[in-house]
Amino acid sequence: MAKQATVGLGLRREMLDEFCQHVPEQINFFEVAPENWMTLGGKFGKQFRQLTEQHEFFCHGLSLSIGSPERLDTDFVKQIKGFLDTHKIKIYSEHLSYCSGSGHMYDLMPIPFTEEAVSYVSKRIKQVEDILERPFILENVSFYAAPGAQMSEQQFVNAVLEEADCKLLLDVNNIYVNSVNHQYDAAKFLAAMPSKRIEYMHIAGHYEENTDLMVDTHGADIIDPVWQLLQQSYQQHGVFPTLLERDFNIPETDELLLEINQIHQYQQAATTSKRSA
């Protein structure tokens, strides 16, 4: 299997006891939000260090707030760098959104889709990269309103990636959720993403509030249209490391492995198809 054909799982504290004893071979890497692990000591801290020494880890941040109107919290970015350095983690991604202004909102808010915002966010991304001494990876996010939009989500995401010259964390579930909520063609959006900028991918389940309202929860099984988007992404853009996100309603590992194995199967099929072609 190609090096890029790997599958990961988001690590939660309740998984530590099990995975410190044994990690199934189908789980090739773990992903954590650094904010949830940076200050851990005691038993949890020791268990986490054991796992980072033995397995590959990615970091996916929650509170950098790259689009915030407030000054970039460089002290926080330096704390992130210390955490990444300590655990020898090379991959750091964040959301193309903001979650703070004069205070912290504890939710991911949409950045206005404007040329001004493209320039503003791109400069802040370069600031973060200078401090982290690592590439910055942006995730396309789910959103439920687009205040002040002067361009489409697709145009905005591509413009930020180009101006900031940064990498993309391609979340296929977010594409599907947004396509339903904002009535656009998910396949066309996916095809418009720049293959050369993709670093890795996310896939997850969501909650159907109504036929025209999907809520990005990461708390359910993945549905067929999202699986189809994942397969399409491998066919169009190539196979990349792919993370299964499950943030609550977390089943036993054996059940999680069913979806992890399905990702492996799609990766293998795409890799075989490419070799044949």
Q: What is the DSSP string of 10-65?
A: E--GGGHHHHHH---TT--EEEE-GGGTTT--HHHHHHHHHHHHHSEEEEE-SS--
| pLDDT at res. 217 | 72
pLDDT at 218: 62
- Mean pLDDT in residue range 5-33: 97
- For residue 75, pLDDT over 60 is answered with yes
Mean residue pLDDT of the chain comes to 90
Closest CA to 12 of 247, 216, 189: 247
**201 conformational bin, left if phi > 0, alpha if psi -120 to 50, beta if neither:** beta
Q: Read off the DSSP letter of residue 4.
A: T
The rounded distance, in Å, linking the Cα atoms of 67 and 111 is 6
Distance, in Å, from the CA atom of 215 to the CA atom of 43, rounded to the nearest integer, reads 35
- Tell me: pLDDT of 39 over 60: yes
The secondary structure of residue 197, as a DSSP letter, is G
> So what's the pLDDT on residue 101?
44
| Cβ atoms within 10 Å of 64's Cβ, excluding its own | 26
Q: With the CA atoms of 170, 173, 178 and 179 taken in that order, what torsion angle do they form, in degrees rounded to the nearest 10?
A: 100
Q: What is the mean pLDDT of residues 169-177?
A: 95
Percent of the chain at pLDDT above 90? 72
pLDDT over 70 percentage in the chain: 90
- Taking the C-alpha atoms of residue 117 and residue 125, their distance in angstroms, rounded to an integer, is 12
Per-residue model confidence as pLDDT tens digits over 54-69: 999 999 998 888 888 8
Chosen CATH of 7-276 out of 3.40.120.10, 3.20.20.150, 3.30.300.30, 2.40.40.20: 3.20.20.150
Give tens-digit pLDDT for 113-150: 999 999 999 999 999 999 999 999 999 988 777 677 79
Query: What mean pLDDT is predicted for residues 222-237?
Result: 96
Q: Confidence class of residue 249 from pLDDT cuts 50, 70 and 90?
A: confident
The whole-number pLDDT of residue 118 equals 96
Query: Would you state the pLDDT for residue 149?
Result: 74
47 by Cβ neighbours in 10 Å (0-12 / 13-18 / 19+) ranks as middle
Long-range contacts of 76-79 (CB under 8 A, 24+ apart): 77/127, 77/128, 77/131, 77/132, 78/131, 79/38
Query: What pLDDT shows up at residue 98?
Result: 61
Please report, for residues 8, 23, 29, 181, 268, the alpha-carbon distance to residue 26 in angstroms, rounded to integers and kept in the order given. 8, 8, 9, 33, 13
Q: What is the structure's pLDDT at 147?
A: 73
- The predicted pLDDT at position 1 comes to 38
Instruction: Determine which of 193-197, 236-240, 271-275 has the lowest per-residue pLDDT on average.
Output: 271-275
Two tokens at 205?
């389940």
pLDDT for 219 beyond 70 = no
Residue 166 predicted with pLDDT over 80: yes
- If pLDDT is split at 50, 70 and 90, which confidence band does 29 have? very high
Q: Is the dihedral of CA 68, 70, 72, 77 positive or negative?
A: negative
Of the pLDDT bands very low, low, confident and very high (cuts 50, 70, 90), residue 216 is: low
Check if the beta carbon of residue 169 is closer than 8 Å to that of residue 242: no
How high is the pLDDT of residue 273?
A: 84
Task: Say whether pTM exceeds 0.85.
Answer: yes
Task: Identify which has the larger pLDDT, 7 or 108.
Answer: 7
pLDDT digits 0-9 by tens, 85-113:
999 999 999 999 766 444 444 456 677 89
